[in-house]
């Protein structure tokens, strides 16, 4: 009963978010995110109807459709990177390289795991893959946020809401999937409710944060330095070396 | 079990970051102009407020200690040591703060630089981290051994002060214009001069 309530509330909020996206014209600002919500809405509605009409159909299609929405969810990170670092070419470069490294490491890890595991059932593969992709999404978000904090980049209300909402769902999914894999089938019911609740919470955050468009804060007074990163970096390095030698001598004394 | 712990740690770490983001006060958006001013102030503070030889001699030199030891009662001697320790800790803390300001200055510029060297940026990040930690360590040494635990500090600090300030001036000089550009003075004797 509770899971059905969560399901219906989720559908309602997804529909509301999509309506607001069209009315406020934000669908063009965050195309991957709204694509993801649209994908989840269609899948969720289809599964809801099939659950009412033909439960066996639901059982068959749950994991494949879950995987499709999972892949679509990775696109949300692209929206985050594009908006967060839009004005900051240097920070964007660091973020891009770090994100590519994480993707590369994930593909290598998943490939290695698939090659070394002897017996694989489709369900085990899907569940394992979902967990691995959730880990990837979590690591990508942590990396992006680390860079945002390190470079002191200001984020707009829309983007903060998008990240907090998506991160909440990813984090909750990761933790519940890990516990589910450890605890076994007895955790299944709690897992379903916890994951649905986390998703509903994310939808609430998104509904509020993305109700109207709030642009990214634009940094001002940045036009006076168009190049010469090397000069800046080497000068900073010189200062650091000088300070370091000072502290070394002080410590020795 | 280890896998479960790793996944739980990643999930918990993500939630910590999200909490930090949600509680974060608005990050500065002023860009380079603001960082430039702060870097100048940091250098000024380091050069004239924290690292001058006579100031360091005043804080860490043994002259005052010898005088207080010879001329006053033990109670005043203890009070003097307590007070001097407090001052030396404040000094170390301020040096650390100014290093952080210099760090903000660098990051304030480099975040806009699409041509930045990732290798250099990573090394600088490590260098900043090491220096900030070194400052922390210095604070610990001062806390544990007192202001007179490192007697050679005066000479070293005097030399380092001159060197650091000289290099820092150079590092900021390339951002300065060669001369002030002046708007045509067609508004009479009160015409404005703008430094570009």
CA-CA distances (angstroms) from residue A68 to A61, A71, A188, B172?
A: 11, 5, 21, 52
Averaged pLDDT of chain A: 83
Q: Which residues of A touch B145 (CB under 8 A)?
A: none
pLDDT < 50: residue spans in chain B: 154-155, 157-162, 164-165, 167-168, 171, 177-196
CB contact under 8 A, B120 and A233: yes
Residue B58 lies in a domain: yes
- Given this model, what pLDDT does residue A167 score? 95
Give the mean pLDDT of A8-24: 92
In a domain, B24, yes or no: no
In Å, what is the CA distance from B177 to each residue of A129, A224, B98?
56, 10, 25
Inter-chain contact A139–B10, Cβ cutoff 8 Å? yes
Q: Is residue B11 part of a domain?
A: no
Nearest-Cα residue of chain A relative to residue B34: A221
Other C-beta atoms lying within 10 Å of the C-beta of residue B167: 19
Q: In angstroms, rounded to a whole number, what is the distance separating the alpha carbons of residues A39 and A41?
A: 5
Tell me whether residue B21 is in a domain.
Answer: no
The pLDDT assigned to A140 comes to: 93
The per-residue pLDDT for A122 is 64
Alpha helices in A184-252 (DSSP H): 188-209, 229-252
pLDDT of residue B160: 46
B104 touches chain A (CB under 8 A): yes
Domain housing B82: 30-174
Instruction: Answer yes or no: do A238 and B167 touch at CB < 8 A.
Output: yes
Per-residue pLDDT tens digits for B46-55: 767 776 667 7
pLDDT at residue A188 in the model = 77
Residue B1 domain flag: no
DSSP string of B165-196? HHHHHHHHHTTS-SS-------SGGG------
In a domain, B76, yes or no: yes
Residue of B nearest to A84 (CA): B111
In a domain, B19, yes or no: no
Domain count, chain B: 1
Residue B183 counted as domain residue: no
Chain A CB contacts of B117 below 8 Å: 229-230, 233
């Amino acid at each position: 009963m509770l899971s059905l309530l969560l399901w219906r509330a989720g559908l309602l909020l997804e529909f509301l978010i999509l309506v607001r996206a069209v009315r406020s014209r934000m669908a063009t600002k965050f195309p991957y995110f709204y694509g993801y919500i649209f994908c989840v809405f269609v899948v969720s509605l289809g599964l809801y109807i099939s659950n009412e009409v033909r439960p066996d159909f639901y059982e068959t299609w749950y994991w494949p459709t879950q995987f499709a929405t999972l892949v679509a969810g990775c696109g949300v990170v692209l929206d985050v990177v594009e908006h967060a670092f839009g004005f900051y070419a240097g920070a964007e470069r660091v973020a891009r390289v770090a994100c590519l490294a994480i993707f590369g490491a994930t593909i290598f890890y998943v490939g290695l795991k698939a090659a070394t595991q002897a017996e694989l059932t489709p369900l085990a593969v899907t569940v394992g893959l979902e967990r691995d992709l959730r880990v990837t999404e979590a690591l990508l978000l942590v990396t992006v946020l680390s860079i945002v904090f390190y470079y002191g980049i200001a984020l707009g209300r829309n983007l903060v809401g998008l990240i907090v909402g998506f991160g909440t769902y990813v984090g909750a999914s990761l933790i519940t999937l890990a516990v589910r894999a450890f605890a076994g089938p007895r955790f299944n019911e709690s897992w379903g409710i916890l994951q649905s609740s986390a998703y509903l919470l994310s939808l609430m955050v998104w509904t509020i944060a993305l109700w109207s468009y709030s642009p990214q804060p634009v940094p001002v007074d940045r036009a006076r330095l168009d190049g010469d990163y090397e000069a800046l970096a080497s000068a900073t390095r010189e200062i650091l070396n000088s300070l370091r030698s000072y502290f070394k001598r002080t410590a020795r004394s | 079990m280890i896998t479960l712990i790793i996944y739980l740690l990643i999930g918990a770490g993500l939630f910590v970051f999200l909490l930090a983001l949600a509680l974060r006060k608005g990050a500065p958006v002023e860009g380079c102009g603001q960082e430039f001013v702060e870097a100048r102030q940091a250098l000024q503070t380091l050069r004239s407020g924290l690292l001058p030889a006579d100031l360091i001699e005043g804080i860490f030199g043994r002259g005052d200690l010898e005088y207080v030891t010879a001329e006053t009662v033990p109670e005043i001697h203890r009070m003097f040591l307590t007070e001097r320790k407090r001052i030396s800790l404040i000094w170390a803390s301020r040096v650390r703060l100014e290093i952080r300001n210099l760090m903000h200055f660098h990051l304030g510029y480099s975040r806009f630089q699409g041509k930045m060297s990732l290798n250099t940026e990573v090394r600088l990040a490590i260098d900043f981290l090491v220096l900030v930690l070194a400052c922390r360590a210095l604070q610990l040494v001062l806390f544990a051994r007192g202001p007179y635990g490192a007697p050679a500090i005066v000479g070293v600090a005097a030399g380092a002060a001159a060197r650091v300030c000289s290099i820092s001036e150079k590092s900021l000089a390339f951002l300065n214009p060669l001369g002030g550009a002046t708007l045509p003075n067609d508004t009479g004797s009160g015409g404005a001069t703008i430094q570009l």
